[in-house]
Each structure stands twice: as C-alpha cells, then as structure tokens.
Amino acid sequence: MQPFFSKTGIAALREWCRQRPLFALDYDGTLTTLANDPREALLAANIQTLVRRLRQYVPVAILSGRHRPELATLLDGVDVDFMIGNHGLDWGDPTRPELQRAQNLVNGWLEQLQVAPLPTVAPAGWSRRWSGGQVDLPGVWVEDKQYTLTLHYRNVADPDQALAAVTAAVAGLQPAPQVSGGKRVVNLFPDTETNKGSALLRLMAEQGVGRAIFFGDDDTDEAVFRLEHPDILGIRVGWHPDSAARFYLRRQRDMSKALAYSLACLRRFSR
C-alpha cells in the first residue's frame, strides 16, 4: 500500500475523477470513528456536508455491514444514491429468496449460540447479550442483523479469552457460516458468495458506471480490495500489512481531507 496523500495517490484520484466515478463508502471506521456502542457512531457535521456536496457531482453509495434499516436511521438527513447493508447482501428488497434463506440460517445460529432475549431497553433487532452457553462473558454482544450476525467483544476485560470463546462457539454451528474477523468483532454470513466486492461490481454494472472509488477500513472491505480491479480505486483507512488496497489513509480523521480533495478534483473536471 502507498500513502493516499502522495503524488501517486493524488494523481490516481485525478485520473478517476475525470470520468465521474461512483463513490462507494463504508460506514463504521471509515465515515465515522468506531464506537463502543455502535448506536452512537454518528456522522460528524463536516462529513455530512462533504457527502452532500459529493452527490452534486457523482453517485454515492454506502456499502456497510450494518443492518440496512439501522443504517438508514444513522444516515437520516444525509441522502445517498445507494444504500447496501449486511456486507452487500441487503439491497432493500426483502422478497428475494436468498434473504429468506439467510434469515432462517441466522435464526438457527442464534438458537445454537444460546443467545439471551433482547433487553427491554434495547431497540428491536439490534443486539442481544450472549452468555456463551455455560460461560458468562460480560461485554460480549451479538448483533442480530436479520441476514447476518456480528459478535462484538470490544468492551470485554480480556479480549483474547473472549475471542477464543467466540471462535470455539462459532466452530460448532450448523450449517457452518462463512466467518470474517475484524476490529474486535466476528462476522457470520450465509454460505454465499455475496460480499462487498461482488456487491460493488453488481452496482457498477447495473448503473453503467465505468469506474469506482471505494474507501473501507476492515476485513470485510478487503473483499473489494482483493478484486484488484483495474477500474476500482481502493483506499483503506489505516495501514495494514496484509491489505490488498492500493492506497491508505493514516487514520479515520483523514477521511474529511480525502473527501475534500475528491470534491476539488470533481469540481475541476466539471468545468
């Protein structure tokens, strides 16, 4: 990976902006900082303004692991052209057969994980406390996103112990889910090839967009970066030795600067 704020990185941005690319953006850790409580990961005012201005020049997609209805709530007041949730699985059409199958799988995994009922104070469909079966692990939560699951262990006293317990529990699930790690999370997916990479390719094809720029920060975003697609410019938020992204930002707060640079390039080529 090379720094995005370099001659090479800015030159690549200018090359893409000449052709009015689709801008695809992850949410948590990319547009927002990671929060101990995911419900508190709200868009900063300057990011809201930059996204609105970006839409004046190019289509904007949010491609997130979030449950799509929750993502819509978090984006309230910030219109985007496309909003895709559950790591590329949910496009907003609940009648798709693969979504019903995914929901059935998720319900079965919840039963096998012995997930406790939702607390009465929790928003419906958000998260559930997980006891880990016979082992109580305070701070581990299961985020039920209807079509996928995410087990969070960011707030536990011993992350290594929690990850070992979560990994052991997940290994026994039937049917076996696809598993992806992340920043103190374990994501469970249906047995499907759908991911952020395939979702972005589908979106580009359906909208007739020749090029796209994608910003992401976590393991599930690598599904885009690993495509190494000649028409997708991948930028990772945060350097990682194993990332397939072409460029990286040093930290999340550099996103506002990256979006501002993008706007400047788009304005230049729209004249």
pLDDT digits 0-9 by tens, 214-240: 999 999 999 999 999 999 999 999 999
User: Does 174 score more than 90 pLDDT?
Assistant: yes
In the structure encoding, which two tokens stand for residue 101, read together? 């199958």
Report which of 140, 123, 143 is spatially closest to residue 131, judged by C-alpha positions. Answer: 140
Helix or strand (DSSP H, E) at 235: strand 232-237
Q: What is the DSSP letter of 32?
A: B
Q: What backbone phi and psi angles, to 5 degrees, belong to 234?
A: -100, 125
Separation of alpha carbons 253 and 32, rounded Å? 8
pLDDT at 122: 38
pLDDT above 70 (res 131): no
CA angle 203, 204, 206 (to 5 degrees): 65
DSSP state of 28: B
Q: What is the rounded average pLDDT of the residues 85-103?
A: 92
The residues, any chain, with a CB within 8 Å of residue 186's CB and separated by 6 or more, are 150, 151, 153, 163, 166, 167, 170, 179, 180
Q: Using CB atoms within 10 Å of the CB of residue 45, give its burial: 0 to 12 exposed, 13 to 18 middle, 19+ buried.
A: exposed
- Alpha-helix runs per DSSP H in 189-239: 196-207, 222-225
Q: Alpha-carbon distance 58 to 263, whole Å?
A: 10
pLDDT of 119 > 60? The answer is no
- Compute the average pLDDT of residues 44-72: 95
The reported pLDDT for the residue numbered 258 is 98
Q: pLDDT at position 217, please?
A: 96
Q: Label the pairing between strands 60-63 and 232-237.
A: unpaired
Q: Is 237 helix (H, G, I), strand (E, B) or coil?
A: strand
181 pLDDT above the threshold of 90: no
Q: Residue 84 in contact with residue 212, Cβ under 8 Å?
A: no
Q: Binning pLDDT at 50, 70 and 90, where does residue 37 land?
A: confident
pLDDT given at position 140: 79
pLDDT of residue 115: 63
Band (pLDDT 50/70/90 cuts) for residue 103 is very high
Top mean-pLDDT range of 39-43, 64-68, 182-186, 197-201: 197-201
Which pLDDT does position 138 carry in this prediction?
Answer: 65
Minimal CA–CA distance to 215: which of 193, 184, 187, 248?
Answer: 248
- Residues of the chain with pLDDT > 70, as a percent, come to 91
Answer whether residue 116 shows pLDDT above 60: no
CA distances from 237 to 37, 218, 228 (A): 20, 8, 17
What count of Cα atoms within 13 Å lies in the side-chain half-sphere of residue 111?
8
Task: Kindly state the helix (H) or strand (E) to which residue 213 belongs, with its residue range.
Answer: strand 212-216
The average confidence (pLDDT) of the chain is 88
Beginning with the edge strand found earlier in the chain, give each strand of the sheet holding 2-3 in spatial order. Answer: 2-3, 247-249, 232-237, 212-216, 22-25, 60-63, 82-84
pTM of the model: 0.89
Centre a 10 Å sphere on the Cβ of residue 201 and count the other Cβ atoms it contains.
17
Domains with residue ranges and CATH for the chain:
2-89+194-270 (3.40.50.1000), 97-189 (no CATH)
